[in-house]
Amino acid sequence: MVGLIERYRERLPFAPEDPVVSLGEGGTPLIPAPHVSERAGVEVWLKLEGANPTGSFKDRGMTCAVSAAVREGAQAVVCASTGNTAASAAAYAARAGLRGAVIVPEGKIATGKLAQALMHGARVIALRGNFDRALELVRELAARHPVALVNSVNELRIEGQKTAAFELLEALEDGLDALCIPVGNAGNITAYWRGFTEAGRRPRMLGFQAAGAAPLVHGAPVADPETVASAIRIGRPARWEEAMDAMTSSGGAVRAVSDQQILAAYRLLAAGEGVFCEPASAASVAGLLAHGAGDARRVVCVLTGHGLKDPQTALEQAGSVVPSESELGAIERAVLG
C-alpha cells in the first residue's frame, strides 16, 4: 500500500515534486470490540495504530516531518521521546539516510522502543531527567543548530497524524459520535481534531490521562509525573491549549484513569478482544469504561501503540508459563488439565 503522503497529498502540504520518505504507514485496521461494547453499553470500535510500520501512530506524523526535513536539506533529525517517537524518528531517518538523535528519559522507556531506536542506528541519549526536560533541551538544541526537530511541536507531525481522522470517516459510513484517545504531549488529539474539523465532522473528543500524569485534568503542570503507561508520563504537554480547545469545542472532556484501570483495560483488550496494545493505549478504553461517553452511540477508541513495544509490563501482567516434561502424559496434563 502507498503511504500517507501519496494517499492524502491534496490535504497535506506536499507538492507532487517533493521528496517522500515513507514506510507505507497509515491504512490501519478499524475493528469492532464486542467485549468492550458490552461493558460500555455503546458500539465501540478500535483503531489499531500499532499496525503502523514501527508499531505506533507516530509514523503518520514522521513520514511528513522527515520528508519535509529532506526537502529543507537537513542533515539530522532530533527528538525528545518517551519511546515511540524515538523509534519512529530513528526508522524514518534511516530510510532517508539522515542522522538521527533521540533523547529519552533514562530507564523510563519500554524495551521494544529502545531496541528499535538502537537498531535503526540512531544515537540514543539517556537523559537524567524526564520527558518534559528532554523536550525543553531539544528545542534549545534545534534553535542553535541545523537539525530538524521532529517532535509534535513540528507542524508537519500534526498534519500527518490528522489523516487518522480521515480514515475513520472513510471507514464509518455514518461517522462516529465520540473519540476516546490517550493524551500525553497532546499532539495526537490536536491532530485528530484538525482532521475532523477539516472534514466538517466533529465528534466529541474524550481525552484520557494517567492519574499520576494528568496536568490537563488538574489544570496545572505536574512536576514529577509517574505512571505504568510510560509513553504518556508527561507533566507539561506542548499542545496544551489546542488539546483543551479540541475537547471544549467538541463538547468533550479530559479525565484521569488510574494505573489499575489502565492495566485492567490492557488485559481485557488482549484476552477478550485479541488485541495487544501497550499500556498507554489502553487508557482510551479504560477511560471509556470508567467515565462513559455521554449519550454517544458509536465510539472509536484509538489504540496508539503495539503491545510488543513493552514486553516487560506484559509479562508482569500476564499469567505464567506451564512447565512440562517431554512426554505425552505430561503434555496431556499440561494442556487439558
Among 229, 228, 185, which Cα is nearest to 79's? 185
Residue choice 52, 116, 154, 281 for contact with ligand F0G (CB under 6 A): 281
Distances in whole angstroms, Cα of residue 207 to Cα of each of 129, 153, 222, 292: 26, 19, 17, 12
Q: How far is the CB of 57 from ligand F0G (least distance, A)?
A: 7
Residue choice 3, 100, 112, 184 for contact with ligand F0G (CB under 6 A): 184
56 scored as a contact of ligand F0G (CB under 6 A): yes
Residue choice 26, 105, 160, 187 for contact with ligand F0G (CB under 6 A): 187
Among 213, 158, 224, which Cα is nearest to 183's? 213
For residues 282 to 321, the per-residue mask of contacts with ligand F0G, x marking binding by CB under 6 A and - elsewhere, is ----------------------xx----------------
Query: Taking a C-beta distance cutoff of 8 angstroms, is the pair 210, 229 a contact?
Result: yes
Q: How far is the CB of 232 from ligand F0G (least distance, A)?
A: 5
Question: What whole-number distance in Å separates Cα of residue 27 and Cα of residue 163?
Answer: 9
Residue choice 22, 67, 85, 130 for contact with ligand F0G (CB under 6 A): 85
What string of DSSP letters covers 294-333? TT-SEEEEEE-BBGGG-HHHHHHHSPPP----SSHHHHHH
Q: Is 143 exposed, middle or buried, given 0-12, 13-18 or 19+ CB atoms closer than 10 A?
A: exposed
The DSSP 8-state label assigned to residue 232 in this structure reads G
What percent of the residues of the chain are helix, what percent strand, and what percent coil, each to the nearest 5?
50, 15, 35
Find where cell 485479541 sits: 274
Work out the end-to-end distance of the chain between its first and last CA atoms, rounded to an integer number of angstroms.
Answer: 45
Residue choice 22, 28, 188, 261 for contact with ligand F0G (CB under 6 A): 188
Question: What whole-number distance in Å separates Cα of residue 230 and Cα of residue 305?
Answer: 12
Q: Cα torsion at 180, 185, 188, 193 (round to 10°)?
A: 80
Q: How far is the CB of 332 from ligand F0G (least distance, A)?
A: 41
Q: How far is the CB of 199 from ligand F0G (least distance, A)?
A: 20
Residue choice 222, 231, 244, 269 for contact with ligand F0G (CB under 6 A): 231
186 scored as a contact of ligand F0G (CB under 6 A): yes
185 scored as a contact of ligand F0G (CB under 6 A): yes
Q: How far is the CB of 164 from ligand F0G (least distance, A)?
A: 11
Binders of ligand F0G: how many residues, by CB under 6 A? 22
Residue choice 179, 278, 293, 300 for contact with ligand F0G (CB under 6 A): 278
Stretch of 4-12, 211-219, 253-261, 273-281 contacting ligand F0G, by CB under 6 A: 273-281
Residues within the interface to ligand F0G (CB under 6 A): 56, 58, 81-85, 152, 182-188, 231-232, 278, 280-281, 304-305
